[in-house]
């Protein structure tokens, strides 16, 4: 089980980095350009051009570092490629945007908690896009769906403590 945990973390690292990086950009330009769909914003002020670019860049950079470290990784770890790193990073940001869109349609305010949607939206899209270039053992996916909510919540609590996020979820 420890092997699948480490293999899973190695594989998903670009998505985790991409998902956690946008808060450092302090973006000012919303992706939805203040557009509304019905009575609610399309996405809200929390999804910005700067944050999206930062997340994709940092996630892809993390994958690039993994490529350099690949010779030291165990044989059963996925071989990280630039294409896979980008797909995981882009998928994380796209998934988070889809989650924000769903929350706005449900009338959930920016910053309000939506359990599981908040923790898994980025993971689902990242994993889906990754299947374009790699196939992982099903155990890796199971481990990721089990650990990601804990990892996500822990990262958000730390970000809140560091005053990078307004809410700890």
pLDDT band at 21 (very low <50, low <70, confident <90, very high): very high
- Pair type for strands 40-41 and 36-37: antiparallel
For residues 73 and 15, give the distance between their C-alpha atoms in angstroms, rounded to a whole number: 18
The C-alpha angle with vertex 37 and arms to 35 and 43, in degrees rounded to 5, equals 60
Mean pLDDT of the chain: 94
Q: Is the pLDDT of residue 110 over 90?
A: no
pLDDT digits (tens, 9 = 90+) for 133-149: 999 999 999 999 999 99
DSSP per position, 24-49? GG---SBTTTT-EETTEESS-TTSBH
pLDDT band at 6 (very low <50, low <70, confident <90, very high): very high
1-25: average pLDDT? 94
What does the domain layout of the chain look like in residue ranges?
A: 2-161
Q: Tell the burial category of 114 from Cβ atoms under 10 Å away from its Cβ (0-12, 13-18, 19+).
A: middle
- Grouping H, G, I as helix, E, B as strand and the rest as coil, residue 160 is helix
19-44: average pLDDT? 95
DSSP per position, 54-111? HHHHHHHHHHHHHHHHGGGS-TTS----HHHHHHHHHHHHHHHHHHHHHHHHTTPPTT
Which is higher by pLDDT, 164 or 55?
55
* Confidence (pLDDT) at 151: 94
* Confidence (pLDDT) at 159: 86
Q: Nearest to residue 5, comparing CAs of 168, 147, 154? A: 147
Provide the 10 A C-beta neighbour count for residue 16.
Answer: 23
* Confidence (pLDDT) at 104: 96
pTM value surpassing 0.85: yes
């Amino acid at each position: 089980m420890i092997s699948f945990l480490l293999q899973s973390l190695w594989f998903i690292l670009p998505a985790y980095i991409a998902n956690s990086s946008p808060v450092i950009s302090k973006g000012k330009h919303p992706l939805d350009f203040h557009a509304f769909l019905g009575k609610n914003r399309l996405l809200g002020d929390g999804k910005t051009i700067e944050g999206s670019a930062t997340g994709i860049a940092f996630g892809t950079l993390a994958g690039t570092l993994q490529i350099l470290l690949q010779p030291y990784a165990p044989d059963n770890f996925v071989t990280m490629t630039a294409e896979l790193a980008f797909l995981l990073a882009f998928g994380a940001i796209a998934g988070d945007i889809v989650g924000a869109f769903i929350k706005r349609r449900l009338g959930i305010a920016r910053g309000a908690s939506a359990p599981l949607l908040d923790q898994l939206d980025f993971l689902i899209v990242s994993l889906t896009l990754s299947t374009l270039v790699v196939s992982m053992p099903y155990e890796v996916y199971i481990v990721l769906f089990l650990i990601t909510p804990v990892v996500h919540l822990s990262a958000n609590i730390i970000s809140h403590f560091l005053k990078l996020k307004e809410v700890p979820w």
